[in-house]
Every structure is written in structure tokens, then in C-alpha cells.
Chains A and B, each alone.
Chain A
Amino acid sequence: MMERDVVVRLLLRLIMVVVAYAVIRILAPARTLLAGAALGAGALALVALNPGALASVEFWAGLVGFAAILSALMIVIHPNPMVSVLFLIVNLFCVALFYLFLNAQFLAAIQIIIYAGAIMVLFLFVVMLLNLKAEEGLTARGGPQRYGAIVLGGLFAGLLFDAILHRGPQPYFDPGTFASGFGTARELGGLLFTRYLFAFEAASLLLIAAMIGAVVLAKRRLR
């Protein structure tokens, strides 16, 4: 069945990511070069096996998914917070590309403007200003709790996969009825300013409150 195929491919990809990272960490000294060479060779092999794949959506969506999952893992694993910030930026870019695959062109641009362009700059500034160094390794303190967290995280992911793959009957998506204005700013604006107007205004109030709050909280006390 198609869903099993998708899940198997995804799991294989995840296992490849974890194995790749383990190999890289073990061969620590020359890791950047080795990692780059390995990933490049893998990509070339994939393309050489099936040249028509370059034009297929599945290949590119798979590639972006691989990058998203790899960068998410690196955020959690890497000890240096600045490197975590950079991997989160990569991840946000991958999510923006996903939005493009999902016909959400306005959301893709907004994701880059707001998330990758403003929120992550904020994170970057804070990490630079606080001059944070790399924290010690993952297994330094609170050992069993960390392993428990990873195991439970895996079980949680399994639960979510199960829920997604055994959904009830979903509406049939007929490509013929694809409205050409779907996902544009015009459609979104039409909804935002009519049906969701109250939420829109409340969100603007929220932003003002957050701005004032952030300025007050981070202010140095005036002596």
C-alpha cells in the first residue's frame, strides 16, 4: 500500500541520518570533509541511478525532508548553542520549501521574513550577546532521565505515525477543482479581514504587549 511505502522510506531515511551522524562523530578529526564527501557521494549515487528523478516532485520533497530532519537532529545534539541556531535557520528554510510544495506561496515567504529573518535574528543576537560557550556533552548529568526522554520521544513519534496512517476517510482531493488563487496573499487577506478580523486585531494587541514586555524585562535597572 502506498502509506506503508512512504513510512518505510521515511524510516530508512531517518536510520541513514542517525548512522551517518554516528559515523561522523566516531571519526571526529576529519569530520566536516568526510561528512560532506559522504553526503555528496550519496546524492550523486541517487541521481545517477535514476536521472529522471531530478524532475520529480518526490525526489525534491524527499531531499528537503532529509535536510529538515537532519538539521532538527543537529539542533538537539550539537553542544554549541550558536551552531544550534544555525541549524534551526536551515530547518526553517526547509519548512519554507515544504510550504512551496503545499501550494502555500504566501506562507513560504512569510516564514522566511518572520521566522528565519526576524525571530532567528533575535536568537542570534541573544546568543552572541550572552557569549554562550558550548555546554558539556549530553550524558554529563541526569543520565537515566535523558535516555528515558529519548526512548519516550521515539514512542511518541511512533504513536503519531500510527495516528496519521490510520486516519478516518479523508476528503477526496480532486486536482481538477484546484482553485488557482489558493495560497495567495489575496485569498488569505480576504479571510483575515472579514471572518477572522477579531483574531487579527487581538494578535496586534498581543504583539504590542509582547514588545513592551520584552523591552521592560530586558532593560537594565536605571540607578
Chain B
Amino acid sequence: MMPPHYFLLVAALLFAIGCVGVLIRRNAIVILMCIELMLNAVNLTFAAFANESQSMTGHVFVFFVMTVAAAEAAVGLAIVIALFRRRRTTDVDDASLLRW
């Protein structure tokens, strides 16, 4: 059997890669995708802990995180589309009207 550490470490690595992605990339859609990557890493951590302590509560959490992720992806992409219609660019550096 795999030691539970393994899944936690892989999830931590995926989370860190997602964080770096959000910080590095300029395309709004790729940033949203890196956020989804981070959410998946968190789901994996929940599932690993649920398996270790044989408690289904972890799975319930994963279920709700997936629901929220779906809702957030839909609304986020709608915002990106609305922004794109106005400015013809998905570069987040160009959405700077409210900056000083």
C-alpha cells in the first residue's frame, strides 16, 4: 500500500505549481486554470486524509469543493468573456483602469 505521505506530497507540489502559475501567467483564462489546479490539489489532500482516517467527511468536502469550483469557473469565464468583448484582450495587465 502506498504511504499516505505520497499523495499529500504530490498534492502539495501541484498546489505550489498552481500558485506559481497564477503569479507568472498573464492570460486570464490560464490563471483561472491554475486556480482549478490548486483546487484539485486541495481535493486530493482531502481524499488522502479521508482514506487515512476512514471517514467519509473528507469526501463530502471534496464534493462541495467541486460544486463551488464549477460555479466559480462558470462565473469567472463569463467575466473574462465580458472583459474580452470590451477590450479585445485577455491580458490581466491590461485590465488596469482602477489602478492608481
Contacts and interface: CB of A to CB of B under 8 A. Distances in A.
A–B contact, 8 Å CB criterion (strictly below)? yes
Interface in A28-82: 57-58, 61, 65, 68-69, 72-73, 75-76, 81
Interface in B47-100: 47-48, 50-54, 56-57, 59-60, 62-64, 66-75, 77-82, 84-85, 90-91, 93
Contacts of B78: 213-218
Interface of A is mostly: helix
Given A73-B17, A115-B69, A130-B80, 17 more contacts: A10-B6, A65-B10, A69-B17, A72-B14, A115-B36, A119-B36, A126-B77, A126-B81, A130-B90, A138-B24, A149-B24, A153-B16, A156-B16, A183-B56, A211-B74, A213-B75, A217-B82
A223 to B, nearest CB: 14
A196 B60 contact: yes
Interface in A88-129: 88, 91-92, 95, 98-99, 101-104, 106-107, 110-111, 114-115, 118-119, 122-123, 126-127, 129
Nearest to A5: B3
Interface residues of A, number: 89
B6 A65 contact: yes
A170 B56 CA distance: 17
A-B interface, 3 closest residue pairs, ranked by CB to CB distance from nearest: A210-B71, A153-B20, A157-B16
A206 interface: yes
Interface in B1-58: 1-10, 12-21, 23-27, 29-30, 32-34, 36-37, 40, 43-44, 47-48, 50-54, 56-57
A199 interface: yes
A72 B41 CA distance: 11
A99 B66 CA distance: 14
A60 B88 CA distance: 45
Contacts of B93: 141-142
B73 A122 contact: yes
A102 B71 contact: no
Interface of A: 2-3, 6-7, 10, 14, 57-58, 61, 65, 68-69, 72-73, 75-76, 81, 84-85, 88, 91-92, 95, 98-99, 101-104, 106-107, 110-111, 114-115, 118-119, 122-123, 126-127, 129-130, 132, 135, 138, 141-142, 145-146, 149-150, 152-154, 156-157, 160-161, 164-165, 170-171, 173, 175, 177-179, 182-183, 187-188, 191-192, 196, 199, 203, 206-207, 209-211, 213-218, 220
23 contacts: A14-B13, A57-B2, A69-B13, A69-B14, A91-B37, A101-B2, A106-B59, A115-B66, A123-B73, A126-B77, A149-B20, A153-B20, A153-B23, A160-B12, A165-B5, A171-B52, A182-B54, A203-B64, A213-B78, A214-B75, A214-B77, A217-B81, A218-B81
